[in-house]
Chain A
Amino acid sequence: MKSHPATPYAFLLPALAVYGLFVLVPIAGSLRMSLFSWGDTPTPVFVGLRNYAQLLGDHVFWRALYNNILLLVASLLLQLPLAAAVAMLLSYKTLCKPLFRMSFFAPMVMPTVAIAILWQYIYLPEGGLASTLVSKILGKPFAYAWLAQPSSSPWLPSPSMFWIFVTICWQYTGFHMVLFMAGIAAIPEELYEAARLDGASEFQICRHIVIPGLKPTIAVSATLSIIGSLKYFDLIYLMAAGLPEADREVMATYIYRLAFDQGQGRFGYGSAAAIMLLLVAIAVVVPIQWSKRKRQ
């Protein structure tokens, strides 16, 4: 469409101004602040790359990154197959299908804070739902601090992270399930019919028709999981608070605690950690986008 050469810029200006001020400027600010020692000393002092050097030797930082990666791997290996399986079960003729869909998706609408509070009660050491279930199965009283288990060796994550991951599954499985349901619905009906005529079993149909047909959906779901796993904050911050310092962090919570936890206020060091998170995000996202573009 033809228009006066200045018009498009006028249309863009307000959005670009807000985006620049509240997204781009803060990132530049982070980069600058990461070169200063700020909070460790009363006034900002330029220290060059010393914050980064310190960060590389900071085992809490590495543990935070490690926890991020573990949660990512867990959601790829456990959550996505679970969501796909539920979607496949629902793809047949089912009683009250909309009810299932609505109920599985419902946690996505809730505030994460509400989910964290609710699940903290489920994980109460004594009398919580989880403990009650186990004691019913064992037939004797049972108490276990689900959310306060320190890790037993430096190479293992805290078992509590797994219980938090269960909550993450509760929150997001319905979402991925909806994506997979849309993916399954996009597979042409004739393919199933042809396969059934040729005498394929349900398992063979699943293996040779549904899973190949779902490839684009799997790619989307996995990408969302990968990008989302770098953004974990609310649940971990609220639910892992009872763990020792080295076990409870992911990248985002570590940045937050460095800067805003009582008595810390280490803005410079926290910014360095934030820039590292940014670099990790770029390192993860750029190859994904690049391969996506190549496929197209």
Chain B
Amino acid sequence: MKYLRHLILFFGLLCSAYPLAWMCVTAFRLEADAQASPFAFPKRWVIRNISKVFASGGFEDPWLNALLILVALCLAGLAVLVLLHIVQGRFQVSTCLSVIILISAIVFSKCHPSVQEALSGKGFANAYVNSLLVCIGSVALTVALSSLAAFAFALCEFRGRNTLFVIILAGMMLPVHVTLIPLNLLLGPGFLGLKESLWALVGPYVGFALPVSILILRSAFQAVPTELLDAARIDGCSTWQVFANVALPLARPAIATIVIFNFLTMWNEFAFALTLLGPDNSTLPIALNDFKGERGMYIAETCAALAIVVIPLMIVYGIAQKHIIKGLTAGAVKG
């Protein structure tokens, strides 16, 4: 019985992991080899596919593109650290230093001509930077707006509280695709004029991330002991100070949940990016889709592109597995 169980489970493991393993292997195969028999074991390993994908846009030298992606990923890690520090209410020298590095990196990437050139148009380096900018911006905005609103919903009394809360919750049930057409017109040239730029994505992403985030944070704020809030009040804290110094630090686990949940949802989002972005500003899913459209007949090369997108995600997932599983399930179940 015990062996049968393990046998079944290992069969399941094979089914779930094999496609990913195949993708990684194929990324390093000769194209002709992969074309002839995609699912045979490779005879020769090459790294050419990866460099070809990096060369599909950005700098001339493919490895400069790879370096750019690496730098962008490191900066993203830094941004997460800064966010954590701010949430914990610790403003130390290192926080300030990180903020300065982040800002100067963004300014540098926007102003230096060669980087600017590499970051316009096609290519995965550009898509990585775009995805990072959009996701970090939207997640930061979501955390800020939803924690404020959730605090009011959880701990303040005011007229219309339940009505407003139900209206916000309704947003979770909506299929986002209902809003595709009107959002295109709203963001289009006639109204906000943001369409085709990266900024177009931030509004819809934040708008649709708010309901879940508010719900999760509201229950976290409700769990804050009332005595603590009253004590802070008696000591002379204003509502804002209670929020920033008492409630927010205590809601840190919930904030981690919404950061993970929203970041991954936005990182993988496809429909809005497909309709709202112009040809020069693709996020990663769009870059993948375009690459498949142009070079999809080259199996090994496309697998290399997939690997470039998926492997960093899997590394992060491997490191922060527990938090990511918790974040994704909590985000979805509450919603």
A-to-B contact residues, CB < 8 Å:
1-5, 7-9, 11-12, 14-16, 18-19, 21-27, 29-30, 33, 86, 89-90, 92, 94-95, 98-114, 117-122, 124, 127-129, 132, 170, 173-175, 178-179, 182, 202, 220, 224, 227, 230-231, 233-234, 238, 251-252, 255-256, 259-260, 267, 270-271, 274-275, 277-278, 281-282, 285, 289
Q: Is B258 an interface residue when CB atoms closer than 8 A count as contact?
A: no
Measured between C-beta atoms, what is the minimum distance from A285 to chain B in Å?
A: 4
Determine whether B206 belongs to the interface, using a CB cutoff of 8 Å to chain A. Answer: yes
B158 near A8 with CB under 8 A, answer: yes
Question: Shortest distance in angstroms between A204's beta carbon and chain B's nearest beta carbon?
Answer: 15
Q: Are B207 and A22 in contact (CB under 8 A)?
A: yes
A-B contact pairs, 9 of them (CB 8 A): A1-B226, A15-B149, A16-B164, A22-B179, A127-B37, A128-B39, A230-B175, A267-B181, A274-B180
Known: A7-B239, A118-B306. A21 touches B203 (CB 8 A): yes
A177 to B186, CA, bound (A): 40
User: Interface readout for B164-201 with A: 1 if CB under 8 Å, 0 if not?
Assistant: 10011001011111111111111000000000000000
User: Interface segment, B14-22, B44-52, B114-122?
Assistant: B14-22
Closest to B271 in A: A233
Least CB distance from B158 to A in Å reads 4
CB-nearest residue of chain B to A253: B177
Contact among B39, B208, B268 with A23 in the assembled complex (CB-CB below 8 Å): B208
**Which residues does B use to contact A, with CB under 8 Å?**
1-2, 5-6, 8-9, 12-13, 15-20, 22-23, 36-39, 141, 144-146, 148-149, 151-153, 155-158, 161, 164, 167-168, 171, 173-186, 203-204, 206-208, 210-211, 214, 226, 229-230, 233, 239, 242-243, 264, 267-268, 270-271, 274-275, 284-286, 288-289, 292, 296, 299, 302-303, 306, 309-310, 313-314, 317-318, 321, 324-325, 328-329, 332-333
The reply to whether A23 and B207 form a contact with Cβ atoms under 8 Å apart is yes
Q: How many A-B residue pairs have CB under 8 A?
A: 273
Other A-B contacts than A94-B6, A267-B181, 14 sampled, CB-CB below 8 A, are A7-B152, A8-B152, A9-B152, A14-B144, A19-B168, A22-B203, A29-B185, A92-B2, A100-B12, A103-B13, A104-B16, A106-B20, A227-B173, A256-B274
